[in-house]
Amino acid sequence: MRFLFSDDVRRDPYPWYAELRRASPVLRDPRTGTWMVFDYHGVRRALDDHDAFGSDVSAAGYGNLGWFIFFDPPRHTKMRALISRAFTPRTVAGLEPRVREIARGLLDTTAGRDAFDVVGDFAVPLPLMVIAELLGAPADDWSRFRRWSDVILELALTLQGGAEAQHAVAAFTAVRAEMARYLAELLDVRRDAPRDDLLSRLLAAEVDGSRLSDGEILAFFQLLLLAGHETTTNLIGNAVISFAEHPEQLARLRADPTLLPSAVEEVLRYRSPVQAVFRVTRRDVTLGGHAIPARSLVLAMIGSANRDPSRFPAPDAFDVARAPNAHVAFGHGIHFCLGAPLSRLEARVALGELLARTETIALADDQPWEPRAAFHVHGATRLPIHVTPRSA
């Protein structure tokens, strides 16, 4: 699986996926013993059959972050239920005016400029500010959250082993302590006077008759900060990359803005922000004719599944009006992304505002964009663009 760590492959893993899907859709990496699943059918099985494919990666010898995304039922069900009400489509719809206000405020800072970094100046702060406000942290602290998230993301490098892995773990330990101190202050204020935010709700919550520990609340805080922005940031950035690569599709969207929701779905499929999710076999499992032993780490390659020709006609075509579009970019089954309605809203608002203010958008760098430092996510670290502002 070393190929997944090269910059070129992370920018464009799709030719590799196509080859592997044809030749060996279920593949064991001899160096690490990790299994990878590349075809739609196999990925759906890994996502849906949670009795066979669990989420507790510590069972395969990896660190335990205490995030409920890595829990199995029944604990998973209970922890997810504590916060799920905050993310229902109806609750999220109520956030639209605030999301739009934040998006406009950020774009205002770029007004009059014919070039800016659409990732650093827009796609990073927008979702971070939104999730910070939902949690109950100051939105202005977003750049600190980005720094923390970057360190947490690099934990994925531990799959590679070696010096980089050791460095990633040491950096994470330091950031975890910094986050714990930061969170303790927010929790102290809320212990005295609860507010209408997720941290207050977690402080009051009970699971099996007991309150959550500070460590458990920290795990929620970390998971939501990271999941709440890395992915949506990449969705917005990947949309800009896809539009730049396919000007005729952007023209179609500009001519008919009602296509925006389906364009967002197509970016989710075509350049999936999350390329792989982690599973661990809970028993010996047969998949695609391979016998996978219990406690093996399995990567369900959703980025590849979303380009499987057996499921999507012309999978390598970017079509803003594609229908049906049953992608698995948000996963499937009991771990289906809790933030899907929120990220769809954020992407729709962000891209709608960006397109409304510009007549043209083009990538500004002649250099290829620099991919995020983890193989399981897909997006640019920074993305300078040239724009022609629309005259008012």
Chain residues binding ligand HEM by CB under 6 A are 55, 68-69, 80, 131, 223-224, 227-228, 231-232, 235, 273-274, 277, 329-331, 335, 337-339, 342-343
Shortest CB 57 distance to ligand HEM, Å: 10
Rounded to a whole number of angstroms, the minimum distance from the CB of residue 249 to ligand HEM is 19
- Please work out, in degrees rounded to the nearest 5, the angle formed at the alpha carbon of residue 305 by the alpha carbons of 11 and 74: 110
d(CA 84, CA 350): 24
Q: Tokens 């799920």 map to which residue?
A: 84
Interior angle at CA 383, CA 379 and CA 384, nearest 5: 175
The amino acid occupying position 129 is M
For the bound state, the minimum distance from the C-beta of residue 299 to ligand HEM, rounded and expressed in Å, comes to 11
Token pair 């999941």 is at which residue? 227
Report in angstroms how near the CB of residue 302 gets to ligand HEM at its nearest: 6
Residue labelled with tokens 């604990």: 75
Residue nearest to ligand HEM (CB): 339
The angle at the Cα of 13, spanning 12 to 14, to the nearest 5 degrees, equals 95
* Closer residue to ligand HEM, CB minimum distance, 145 or 330: 330
* Strand 277-281 with 206-207, pairing: unpaired
Using the minimum distance from each CB to ligand HEM, give the nearer residue, 49 or 365: 49
Q: Taking the complex as a whole, how short is the minimal distance between the CB of residue 330 and ligand HEM, in angstroms?
A: 5
Number of neighbouring beta carbons within 10 Å of residue 268: 26
Nearer to ligand HEM by Cβ, of 338 and 380: the residue is 338
Is 102 or 131 the residue whose CB approaches ligand HEM more closely? 131
Q: Name the minimum Å distance from CB 47 to ligand HEM.
A: 6
If the CB atoms of residues 187 and 345 are measured against ligand HEM, the closer one turns out to be 345
> Which residue number, 151 or 342, has a Cβ lying nearer to ligand HEM?
342
Where do the H-state alpha helices sit in 206-339? 214-245, 247-255, 260-270, 302-305
